[in-house]
């Protein structure tokens, strides 16, 4: 099985949630680790998110007199290989995967 290594912030022993993303908690005392995530899992999860976003945005081709030419979204890979949309710019895009859909 082929994998891709991701640098992750390891979960805090006192945290309620043991599934951390690649950004994790950016505390100064955070522990960093390497996690190998299967390529097939990433491909399937990324395809699912991409197809879902295309479905959501399918009817937004024209806005007034303007034509939508390109859509850019950012996603994060969780430590279990999940793909999460980044809903705010608070992460500053550091480490994010940017997907650009164009006609």
Query: In this predicted model, what pLDDT tens digit does every residue of 67-93 receive, in sequence order?
Result: 778 888 888 888 888 988 877 655 544
Q: pLDDT (tens digit, 9 = 90+) per residue, 4-29? A: 998 887 777 665 555 555 555 556 67
Would you say the pTM of this structure is higher than 0.85?
Answer: no
CA distance 86 to 76: 7
Domain spans in the chain, listed from the N-terminal domain onward: 3-102
Q: What's the pLDDT at 38?
A: 95
Q: Which of 48-52, 60-64, 72-76 has the lowest mean pLDDT?
A: 60-64
DSSP state of 58: T
- Closest by alpha carbon to 84, among 7, 4, 19? 19
């Amino acid at each position: 099985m082929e994998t891709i290594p991701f640098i992750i912030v390891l979960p805090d022993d006192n945290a309620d949630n043991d599934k951390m993303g690649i950004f994790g908690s950016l505390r100064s005392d955070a522990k960093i680790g390497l996690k190998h995530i299967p390529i097939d899992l990433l491909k399937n999860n990324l395809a699912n998110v991409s197809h879902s976003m295309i479905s959501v945005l399918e009817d937004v081709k024209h806005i007034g007199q303007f034509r939508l030419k390109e859509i850019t979204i950012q996603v994060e890979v969780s430590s279990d290989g999940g793909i999460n949309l980044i809903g705010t710019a608070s992460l500053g895009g550091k480490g994010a995967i940017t997907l650009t859909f164009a006609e």
